[in-house]
Amino acid sequence: MLKFKKKLILASQSPRRKHLLETIGLSFEIIPAEIDEVFQSTEPDIIVKDLAYKKAVSIEEQISDEAIIISADTIVVLDNEILNKPIDENNAFEMLSKLSNRFHEVYTGITIINKSENVSSYIIDYEVTKVKFRQLDSDEIWDYIKSGSPMDKAGAYGIQDDFGSVFVEKIEGCFYNVVGLPLQLVYKHLKQIENEN
């Protein structure tokens, strides 16, 4: 189990990220980061690293105490097109139809800031996972959309505790990355911080 003298802060209100950190026994405070999610780059790894960094720094600037801040940003990419959260039900249908019977990539960028009185250290990293959807039919896509679940998720689907899980045929890489937080990567970096303190 990881143990820290400093308080841990998760810069996200995602229930999925909260649950994943709890599964590895961490106690933490949640302070959602409010940033404009705009980006100049077209490279998915740069985009998610940049947005995760901005989220973590926005919390770092708000607090005066020493702390370890964890932030993340996830995007879904199909043929170099970024599939964000759907803007409406028709957009969700369009996204899920595009994903049907295809491979796509899920990128999650993470930033961990070890905020100290003297100098803070920054860890910036990312994970990518390939996901293959089976062939979907229109009725099941609309049934899923009518549940409301896809509307707050990148790529218009969830893989954990969600009907979207039955759309996924295979995964190459970290499952938890698709949920929204590459858990082993986060743990590895937190372990490094624990060993340094």
Tens digits of per-residue pLDDT, 178-196?
A: 999 999 999 999 999 988 8
User: To the nearest whole number, what is the mean pLDDT of the chain?
Assistant: 93
| pLDDT tier, 40 (very low <50, low <70, confident <90, very high otherwise) | confident
Cβ 63 vs Cβ 120: under 8 Å: no
* CA 157 – CA 96 distance, rounded (Å): 8
Catalytic residue among 45, 50, 73, 125: 73
CA distance 120 to 109: 19
How many Cβ atoms from other residues are within 10 Å of residue 66's Cβ?
14
pLDDT of residue 37 exceeding 80, the answer is no
Going along the chain from its start, the domains and CATH numbers come out as: 7-196 (3.90.950.10)
Residue 106 per-residue DSSP state:
E
**Please, is 146 exposed, middle or buried when counting C-beta atoms within 10 Å of its C-beta (0-12, 13-18, 19+)?**
exposed
Over residues 125-148, the pLDDT tens digits come to 999 999 999 999 999 999 999 999
How far apart are alpha carbons 153 and 151 in whole angstroms?
6
Q: In this model, does residue 170 exceed pLDDT 80?
A: yes
3-state secondary structure of 170: strand
C-alpha closest to that of 6 among 110, 117, 111: 117
Global pTM? 0.93
| pLDDT computed for residue 161 by the predictor | 67
Distance CA(119)–CA(60), nearest Å, equals 12
Two tokens, residue 53: 């960094």
Residue 160: the pLDDT is: 81
> Quick one: pLDDT at residue 62?
92
Q: Where are the beta strands (DSSP E) in 18-85?
A: 29-30, 67-78, 81-83
Determine whether 88 is an active site residue. Answer: no
Q: What percent of the chain has pLDDT over 70?
A: 99
* pLDDT, position 84: 87
**Is the pLDDT score of 27 beyond 90?**
yes
Q: What is the pLDDT of residues 60-85, one digit of tens each?
A: 999 989 999 999 999 999 999 999 88
51 confidence band (pLDDT: 50, 70, 90): very high
In this structure, the dihedral spanned by the alpha carbons of residues 39, 183, 99 and 138, taken in order and rounded to 10 degrees, is -120
